Structure 1
Amino acid sequence: MEELPQPSDELSVDGCPVVHLLDDPTDVEYVLNTLYDPTFVAQKTLPLAAIGAFIRLGRNLAEHDALPQNFETITPYLGIEFDVVTLLSENSIMSALPSAYYRVVEVNTLGDLYAGILKDDGTRASLSEEDRLRCIVGRQALLVKQFQPSYSLGWLRKWEFTDCTSPAICPNRREVKMNHSVKNYGIWALAELKHSSTTSIFCAACTLHAVESCVAGRQKLWEELPEIFDLPPWDQLKNVSPVAP
């Protein structure tokens, strides 16, 4: 800004030109906090608004991959999943959208997708029409796909192993778990199956097969996640840097 030509009659303070910014004052405040207070970004968690400010005021960068995939680094609040998707969409951070969409459908009901989430401050977190449609279509696809053979929960529906040491127990327990998963109408497509928690339900052989099947199924589903939400494949998802006003 110092190199920009200034009119001779431009307002100044203490010899310094006054520059009028078109940016949101809150965004500017977050960035100034970062510049003048090194401890600000060293916090364990940051407000989503702060991360949004860094992205919006840094639009001249070629990539915007700074937004954490793990929401534990963002101060949590009701509706945060919706606001993260909105932030990514508005700033064209396409490479992070599939996992953000998944997070939305994993923790929210179909009703939430339509109505939005009422936040503690009285405002409502909601999705754009395009994001909402992607999430609704993706959610329905995940509900079906997660139980198909070779996917994360496919082992519950079709058991292809013959070395079970408790044939009078394990099949019944798989059926109970399958029915429970279906009735709860939830998304567990990328949920990890912990070996320790499974050993208390199934025999050792079935536990090993279940965990291995889940690991392979999660990887397969992750590779298809962009397509599930009607996006290009991972290797074609590019972050777009909008032209600053």
Structure 2
Amino acid sequence: MSSAEFESPSAKRQRIDDAEIIRSDIWKSDGSVILQAENIQFRVHWSVLAQNSSVFSDMAGLPQPSDEPTIEGCAIVELTDDAVDVEFLLKALYIPTFHSQILLPLAAVGAIIRLSRKYDIKDLFDSAVARLTSEFPTTLDEYDTISKDPTRFKRIEQYDGLLFDMIALASKNYILTPLPCAYYTLVRRYSIAALFRGVQHDGTLSSISGVDLSRCAAAHEKLLVKQLQPGYTLGWTRKWDFEGQCTSSRCQGIRSFALAHHLDNSWIDALASPTALDRMGYCPSCTRHVNEAVTAGRRRIWNELPSFFDLPPWGQLRNGD
């Protein structure tokens, strides 16, 4: 941990002099150290911090200068982190049920990811990352399960712009495993113009970085083309190899309509479910061939999905590196 992570003693005293110090609700009467973030103080236990974090374990072993201020004999360690983030982290450490709740606000998940990554708290980091990957899985079977209700998130509290903010959080903290699915969800829901605008929510703007925008804009065009190529999800709309087995004169017209619909609307449907196509009115023979083609094509798209967004293959995606 570099010295830049903590304030110098003179800076610490200046901040204490300039701002009213507030005692947090996280104040353990038998605590052995005071953590201060901004002007908020938290009294906690070195033993709890050191047990969970290699960084705090190293800090606990450092001698305390005799001229440094204390509170009831407890050293004051001033952190450069956001006070709200520190509060979320300490709740996760001290309240066993906190980070196991079914729903958490993204602010809490983000705080735990940022600080558990910074202070090397592996269990909390893994738990928070798992919450993101539960929304944006790494297998097609899991994707199909969550897609049964694609408008709702299951582990993170919903609000307008949440998708943008989740991607921004994952990308900034090098959480790569959920990104292919998250990016795909974004480019499927939003036009290129909407990606650049972001989403307004309660007076704030949810948006993604320039790197994420470039990835999504490029992938949008690639997916539009790739999904209609032979061997991919909708390639059968453009090239049909089963004419002699069709039992209905309507099937060719339906295929032509499906192709025109995707071309005219720039509609990304590269992971379309075969069951969604059963209602289009194909004859039994064509229905079987369409289902087989879509099943194989979407599997191929899924396997290649990270590459559309300039990411490593699924098996090489890492988190927090």
Instruction: Give the equivalent residue in structure 2 for 1:20.
Output: 78
Identity of counterpart residues, as a percentage? 44
Structure 2 residue 176 is matched with structure 1 residue 94: yes
- 1:134 Cα deviation after fit: 0.9
Selected match of 2:287 from 207, 226, 236? 207
Task: Tell me which residue corresponds to 1:193.
Answer: 274
1:50-89 to 2 correspondence within 5 Å?
Answer: 50-59=108-117, 60=120, 61=122, 65-66=129-130, 67-70=132-135, 71-89=153-171
Q: Is the 8 A contact 1:82 1:125 kept in 2?
A: yes
Look up the SS of the partner of 1:118 in the other structure: strand
Alignment check: 8 A CA contact 2:248 2:282 kept: no
Aligned to 2:67: 9
> In 1, distance between residues paired with 2:315 and 2:95?
38
Structure 1 contact 165–205 (Cα < 8 Å) conserved: yes
Distance change >3 Å, CA 42–CA 237, structure 1 → 2: closer
1:107 alignment partner, one of 177, 180, 189 = 189
Amino acid at match of 1:160: D
Q: How many residues align?
A: 239
TM norm structure 1: 0.87
Task: Flag the structure with higher helix content.
Answer: 2
Between 215-224 and 133-142, the greater mean CA deviation after superposition: 215-224
Structure with greater proportional strand content: 2
| Aligned partners of 2:224 and 2:267 also within 8 Å | yes
> What root-mean-square deviation, in Å, do the aligned CA atoms of Structure 1 and Structure 2 show?
2.3
Aligned to 2:298: 218
Q: Report the Cα offset of residue 146 of structure 1.
A: 0.8
Shift of 1:199: 4.9
| Cα contact 1:118–1:124 (8 A) shared by 2 | yes
Confirm or deny: 8 A CA contact 1:141 1:228 kept in the other structure.
Answer: yes
220-229 vs 26-35, greater mean Cα deviation: 26-35
Among candidates 170, 174, 192, match of residue 251 of structure 2: 170
Q: Distance in 1 between the 2:75 and 2:83 partners?
A: 19
**Given the alignment, which residue of 227, 237, 249 partners 1:156?**
237
Shift of 1:94: 2.4
When the two structures are superposed, what TM-score results if normalisation uses the length of structure 2? 0.68
Opposite residue 105 of structure 1, the aligned amino acid is V
Structure 1 stretch displaced more, 130-139 or 13-22: 13-22
What is the deviation of 1:145? 0.8
What is the CA-CA distance between 1:163 and the residue it aligns to?
A: 5.9
Which structure would you say has the larger RCO, counting Cα contacts within 8 Å and 6 or more residues apart?
1
State the partner residue of 2:226.
145
